Amino acid sequence: MALVPCQVLRAAILLSYCSILCNYKAIDMPAHQTYGGSWKFLTFIDLVIQAVFFGICVLTDLSSLLTKGNDSQEQERQLKKLISLRDWVMAVLAFPVGVFVVTMFWSIYIYDRELVYPKVLDNFIPAWLNHGMHTTVLPFVLIEMRTTHHQYPSRSCGLAAVCTFAVGYILWVCWIHHVTGVWVYPLLEHLSPGVKIIFFVAAAVVINILYLVGEVLNNYIWDTQK
């Protein structure tokens, strides 16, 4: 795909995430007023991650256009740093967290929506916004992977970063329960302490597997020999 269409596509995706975030924050939901606010939900954290990632992508594209034909070594060095940051965010956060949110949400939703997205939320969140938060994330990140080659970090560093994010969020969820006495997700209310531990460990394992899936998929798409 040509450079300009890629730029336009990324800019459009960035604007869509900004719109989703603005509309979501404008909703007057009781959960937004409690401890942790919107930041207790992985869906919201993922939206911020995706918006930041595509913001970096757009900034990288603009920098690439501005430095094209320029022999400044300093500008070239700064562009390489920006590209490295873009690739790292894609590998460690945008892909694994985005795919995790989509797959986990819809898997639990199909089984029993009350465990993850109670029907009462339909009174606050319109259907289009729900899909913007829980559906379009997957095709957007796959489009980005297909249109741009991303250099993954070493597997040990990548998995360490993903584990740090997963454990950090799990501890955050547990802290919120410690402070408020209420679990962020209704599903956790129905699990015994032992099953909760298994669930948290399984979730951490799944997001690490998704990191590996992203690495394999990226290498498959951009295998120069093929």
Structure tokens given for 70: 């320029």
pTM across the whole model: 0.92
User: Element (H or E) spanning 84, and its range?
Assistant: helix 73-89
Distance of alpha carbon 7 from alpha carbon 151, whole angstroms: 19
CA distances from 114 to 51, 78, 179, 191, 203 (A): 28, 48, 23, 14, 19
According to the model, what pLDDT value does residue 201 have? 96
CA angle 120, 28, 117 (to 5 degrees): 30
**Distance from chain centroid for Cα 65:** 27
According to the model, what pLDDT value does residue 67 have? 76
Q: Coil, helix or strand for 136?
A: coil
User: Element (H or E) spanning 129, and its range?
Assistant: helix 127-134
According to the model, what pLDDT value does residue 4 have? 52
Instruction: List CB contacts of 106: < 8 A, sequence separation 6 or more.
Output: 134, 135
According to the model, what pLDDT value does residue 225 have? 45
Question: Which segments in the chain show pLDDT lower than 50?
Answer: 1-3, 225-226
According to the model, what pLDDT value does residue 69 have? 65
According to the model, what pLDDT value does residue 71 have? 67
Q: Coil, helix or strand for 123?
A: helix
Distance of alpha carbon 65 from alpha carbon 132, whole angstroms: 30
